[in-house]
């Protein structure tokens, strides 16, 4: 072992004093990586096969040797009033303290705190936690989001971290929905992005459990660039006509398990996009909403990579889609090794759908000679009723057909009178066991 020089000793002392130096308000770190991503309909889309860059902070250093929790920190002790005024500053101070000690930040029950856009920044000491027992509401004045219209609450690079407590994040999204062109046709579709409610950015070894989310302006919970994530016992609610209010959005995230979660919103209950691998969703209740989706992928001629996704034991009720894979023309890359297992459908429109001609824009999309390759997809033990005549739709790319599609024990009957059919274009599939309705030649 090399002996410590006085210079090295002085550096260690100085570094240990600069512990978890803070939250910040309205300082969007995402801009450092914008060149690698496009924003399409409020979603990050990877343009090249590159991971998010690291955010550097010269004034941040932390010693992570101890993993023992160091007590609790209440936001009230730092001046939070829960009286209708902005409590962001008090929350920031409480976070600095909890982060530097590896403590549990407590948001007391039976109180409603209002926050402007805020980022809770790491790295922190291990076992830092954010326990929400009460309610946090979003600041409703749009002017507060001028510097970053895409985010309300962000947990940035906090590892070995848990968030829970049984409380509620309320995004107060009604005003934002009313300004959307999807709700008010008098608005043009360039009305800009709306804030995601809660974003976890580059968080590793993360647990998010026992929480309620409601009325996000856009997505409710997003995981971007995270690794080793457990999500369980969430309840997520927004009106069925609220635009782009996905329940859980997974982007560029590996090793995530989502379980025992009840989602009803105006968009996808769960959406999984490029860069995501080893995603497992079990015991999910979905409705209203647009179902459980992989995609959209390949927008703006981007490259997509999604693999090893399992959706097991889900119940979908009255949704606009069931289990869906959606890709744009002109994309590239792949979505493969995907399993949809043991799923119950009740009055679901488009129960099983692959749409490689997805086009969520006013201007028609032109067919192109490239597409995301779909392969090795299994649909097994999926049963229930379809609200649409077409219960199974494989609309695959002519240029890059779907291959290795397996259908086993799938029975989808009409919700009312009439029948159901399957339409299967440019797909190579294998039928095992019961399969109704079957593809017509």
Task: Please identify every residue annotated as catalytic.
Answer: 267, 290
| Cβ atoms of residues 251 and 276 within 8 Å | yes
DSSP result, 146-179:
SS-TTEEEEEES--SEEEESS-EEE---HHHHHT
Q: Nearest-CA neighbor of 438 among 396, 397, 400, 394?
A: 394
Find how far residue 201's CA is from the centre of its chain. Answer: 11
Q: Do the Cβ atoms of 316 and 322 come closer than 8 Å?
A: yes
Q: Which helix (H) or strand (E) element contains residue 209?
A: strand 204-214
Q: Sort strands 151-156 and 352-355 into parallel, antiparallel or unpaired.
A: unpaired
Region of 101 (left: φ > 0; alpha: ψ -120 to 50; beta: rest) is alpha
- What are the DSSP E strand ranges found in 318-389? 323-327, 332-348, 352-355, 373-386
CA 200, 202, 203, 204 dihedral sign is: positive
Strand partners, 206: 161, 229
Q: Which residues contact 184 (CB under 8 A, 6 or more apart)?
A: 178
In eight-state DSSP terms, residue 59 is T
Cα(265)–Cα(316) distance, integer angstroms: 12
Q: Which long-range contacts (CB under 8 A, 24 or more apart) does 224-227 make?
A: 224/44, 224/52, 224/199, 224/200, 224/251, 224/252, 224/253, 225/51, 225/52, 225/201, 225/251, 225/252, 225/253, 225/275, 226/200, 226/201, 226/202, 226/253, 226/254, 226/256, 227/253, 227/254, 227/255
Selection from 354, 390, 357 nearest residue 374 by Cα: 354
Beta-carbon contacts of 97 under 8 Å, excluding residues fewer than 6 positions away, are 73, 78, 103
Q: Which residues pair with 39 in a beta bridge?
A: 44
Which pairing describes strands 37-40 and 43-46: parallel, antiparallel, or unpaired?
A: antiparallel
CA pair distance 61, 244, nearest whole angstrom: 38
Q: Are the C-beta atoms of 180 and 243 separated by less than 8 Å?
A: yes
């Amino acid at each position: 072992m090399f002996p410590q020089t006085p210079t090295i000793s002085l550096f260690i002392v100085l570094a240990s004093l600069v512990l978890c130096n803070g939250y910040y308000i309205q300082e969007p770190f995402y801009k450092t990586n914008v060149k690698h991503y496009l924003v399409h309909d409020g979603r990050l889309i990877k343009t090249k096969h590159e991971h998010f860059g690291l955010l550097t902070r010269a004034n941040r250093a932390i010693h992570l040797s101890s993993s023992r929790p160091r007590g609790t920190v209440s936001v009230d002790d730092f001046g939070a009033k829960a009286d209708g005024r902005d409590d962001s500053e008090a929350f920031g101070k409480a976070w600095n303290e909890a982060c530097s000690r590896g403590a549990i930040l407590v948001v007391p029950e039976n109180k409603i705190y209002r926050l402007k856009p805020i980022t809770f920044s790491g790295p922190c000491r291990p076992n830092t936690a954010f326990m929400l027992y009460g309610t946090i509401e979003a600041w409703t004045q749009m002017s507060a989001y001028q510097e970053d219209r895409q985010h309300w609450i962000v947990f940035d690079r906090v590892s070995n971290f848990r968030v829970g407590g049984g409380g509620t994040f309320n995004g107060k999204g009604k005003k934002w929905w009313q300004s959307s062109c999807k709700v008010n046709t008098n608005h043009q579709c360039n009305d800009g992005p709306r804030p995601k409610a809660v974003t976890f950015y580059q968080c590793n070894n993360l647990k998010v459990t026992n929480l309620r989310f409601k009325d996000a302006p856009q997505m409710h919970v997003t995981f971007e660039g995270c690794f080793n994530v457990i999500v369980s016992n969430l309840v997520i609610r927004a009106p069925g006509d609220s635009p782009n209010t996905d329940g859980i959005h997974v982007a560029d995230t590996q090793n995530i398990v989502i379980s025992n979660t009840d989602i009803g919103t105006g968009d996808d209950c769960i959406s999984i996009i490029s860069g995501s691998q080893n995603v497992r969703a079990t015991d999910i209740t979905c409705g209203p909403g647009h179902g459980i989706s992989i995609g959209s992928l390949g927008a703006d001629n981007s490259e997509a990579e999604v693999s090893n996704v399992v959706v097991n034991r889900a119940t979908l009720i009255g949704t606009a889609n069931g289990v869906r894979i959606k890709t744009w023309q002109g994309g590239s890359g792949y979505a493969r090794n995907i399993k949809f297992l043991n799923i119950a459908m009740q009055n679901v429109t488009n129960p099983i759908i692959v749409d490689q001609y997805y086009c969520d824009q006013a201007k028609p999309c032109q067919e192109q000679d490239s597409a995301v390759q779909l392969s090795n997809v299994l649909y097994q033990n999926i049963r229930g009723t379809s609200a649409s005549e077409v219960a199974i739709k494989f609309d695959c790319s002519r240029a890059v057909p779907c291959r290795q599609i397996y259908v086993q024990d799938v029975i989808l009957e009409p919700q009312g009178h009439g029948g159901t059919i399957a339409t299967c274009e440019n797909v190579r599939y294998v039928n095992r066991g019961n399969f109704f309705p079957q593809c017509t030649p």
